[in-house]
């Protein structure tokens, strides 16, 4: 099983790789979170495409090094070292041991070792299939859970929209079920700047990723990915109360 090996908080960690993206950065919604001022919020990803793993720098401030050289998007080989901020990550992808061929010789009885190797093959195939099925099941369960929370949030948003209807400071309150987003523009003062609040099922820049939560994106504030409709709704109500008070 391909994996990432790195040392964090004084302990050696291993991250098994599947076919989905592994996000690395300073933001708490990344798969691997790094508390490092030289690491961007969403710094880089490890992905799998056309039978190979790759590392891709996401236009980070300080770049991503592969074996000491800056990279954008580059395939990975066993033993490669990825450096992000102060962290070094080693990519391990050693092939499974090959099954020795049993020479064709006339024997009076089946070779017990051949039976053992065949049993090992069946065991490995079953293990790999189980792992893939488990990954797929976990992705489907996560997607269903987030989709359910999104429907709850849309109900909250519709209630809030009715509540602030007619307030001239609310310039726009759009709920787009097809695009899976809610966009609110508020202008506290006639000549002041407008504040944009966006709630989204998928981040505008990473729409191909597995659903992990609901995005709350606000002008001049850090983006957040929250796990439940209640958490997002609470943040939204606080924001509206502050802007409309």
Closest CA to 228 of 241, 212, 240: 212
Q: What is the pLDDT of residue 98?
A: 58
Cα→Cα distances 78→52, 162, 227, Å: 11, 57, 35
Ramachandran region, residue 173 (left: φ > 0; alpha: ψ -120 to 50; beta: rest): beta
Name the least confident of 93-102, 157-166, 209-218. Answer: 93-102
Number of domains in the chain: 2
H-helix segments, the chain: 112-164, 229-244
Whole-model pTM? 0.47
Q: Which residues pair with 54 in a beta bridge?
A: 47, 75
- The helix (run of H) or strand (run of E) holding residue 34 is none
Q: 191 lies in a domain?
A: yes
Residue 133's pLDDT band, with cuts at 50, 70 and 90, is confident
- The pLDDT value recorded for residue 123 is 76
pLDDT tens-digit map of 51-70: 899 999 999 989 999 999 99
Question: In the prediction, which pLDDT does 121 show?
Answer: 75
Q: Which two tokens stand for residue 31?
A: 């798969």
CATH of the domain at 157: 3.30.920
Question: Over the stretch 200-211, which tens digit does the pLDDT of each residue have?
Answer: 988 877 766 667
Average pLDDT on 171-183 reads 94
3-state secondary structure (DSSP) of residue 14: strand
Task: Specify if 119 maps to a domain.
Answer: no
Question: Are residues 239 and 161 both part of a single domain?
Answer: yes
Domain that holds residue 35: 3-92
Q: In which element (H, E) is residue 45 found?
A: strand 44-49
Does 126 fall in a domain?
no
Residue pointed to by tokens 């099922």: 201
**Is the model more confident about 122 or about 93?**
93
Is there a domain that residue 106 lies in? Answer: no
Q: Are residues 162 and 227 in the same domain?
A: yes
Q: Is residue 120 part of a domain?
A: no
Whether 89 shows a pLDDT value over 90: the answer reads yes
User: Which of 92, 123, 157 marks a domain boundary?
Assistant: 92
**Of 63, 92, 121, which residue sits at a domain end?**
92
Q: How far apart are CA 243 and CA 245, in angstroms?
A: 6
Query: Which CATH number do you get for residue 41?
Result: 2.60.200.20
| Number of C-beta neighbours around residue 203 at 10 A | 18
pLDDT interval class at 156 (50, 70, 90): very high
Residues found in the chain: 245
**What's the pLDDT at 207?**
65
Residues 31 and 88 in one domain: yes
Question: Does 210 map to a domain?
Answer: yes
Q: 148 and 236 in one domain?
A: yes
Counting residues of the chain whose pLDDT is more than 70, the rounded percentage is 89
- DSSP per-residue string spanning 161-185: HHHHTT-TTEEEEEEETTTTEEEEE
The predicted pLDDT at position 158 comes to 95
Domain presence at residue 11: yes
pLDDT at 152: 94
| Each residue's pLDDT tens digit, 13-31 | 888 888 788 899 999 888 8
> What pLDDT, on the 0 to 100 scale, is given for residue 208?
66
What does each C-alpha distance from 168 to 124, 173, 176, 238, 239 come to in angstroms? 65, 12, 21, 19, 17
Per-residue confidence (pLDDT) for residue 126, from 0 to 100: 74
Mean pLDDT of 103-107: 59
Does residue 77 sit within a domain? Answer: yes
Question: Among residues 92, 110, 133, which one ends one of the domains?
Answer: 92
Query: What is d(CA 171, CA 189) in angstroms, rounded to the nearest whole number?
Result: 11
Q: What is the pLDDT of residue 10?
A: 78
Instruction: Tell me what pLDDT residue 100 has.
Output: 61
Is 162 or 221 the better-scoring residue by pLDDT?
Answer: 162
State whether 80 and 150 are in the same domain.
no
Model confidence at 95, pLDDT cuts 50, 70, 90, reads low
Beta-carbon count within 10 A of 113 CB: 10
């Amino acid at each position: 099983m391909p994996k990432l090996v790195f040392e964090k908080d004084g302990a050696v960690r291993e991250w098994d790789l599947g076919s989905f993206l592994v996000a690395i950065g300073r933001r708490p919604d990344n798969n691997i979170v790094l508390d490092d001022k030289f690491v961007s919020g969403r710094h880089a990803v490890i992905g799998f495409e056309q039978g190979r793993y790759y590392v891709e720098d996401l236009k980070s401030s300080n770049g991503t090094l592969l074996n000491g050289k800056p990279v954008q998007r580059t395939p990975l080989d066993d033993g490669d070292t990825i450096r992000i901020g102060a962290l070094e990550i080693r990519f391990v992808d050693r092939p499974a041991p090959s099954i020795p061929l049993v020479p064709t010789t006339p024997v009076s009885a089946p070779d017990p070792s051949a039976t053992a190797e065949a049993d090992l093959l069946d065991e490995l195939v079953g293990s790999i299939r189980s792992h893939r099925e488990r990954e797929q099941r976990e992705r489907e369960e996560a997607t269903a859970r987030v989709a359910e929370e999104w429907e709850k949030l849309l109900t909250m948003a519709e209630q809030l929209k009715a509540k602030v209807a007619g307030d001239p400071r609310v310039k726009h309150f759009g709920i787009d079920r097809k695009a899976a987003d809610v966009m609110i523009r508020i202008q506290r003062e006639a000549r002041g700047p407008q504040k944009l609040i966006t709630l989204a099922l998928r981040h505008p820049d990473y729409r191909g990723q597995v659903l992990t939560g609901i995005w709350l994106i606000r002008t001049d504030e850090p983006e957040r990915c929250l796990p439940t409709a209640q958490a997002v709704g609470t943040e939204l109500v606080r924001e509206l109360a502050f802007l409309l008070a």
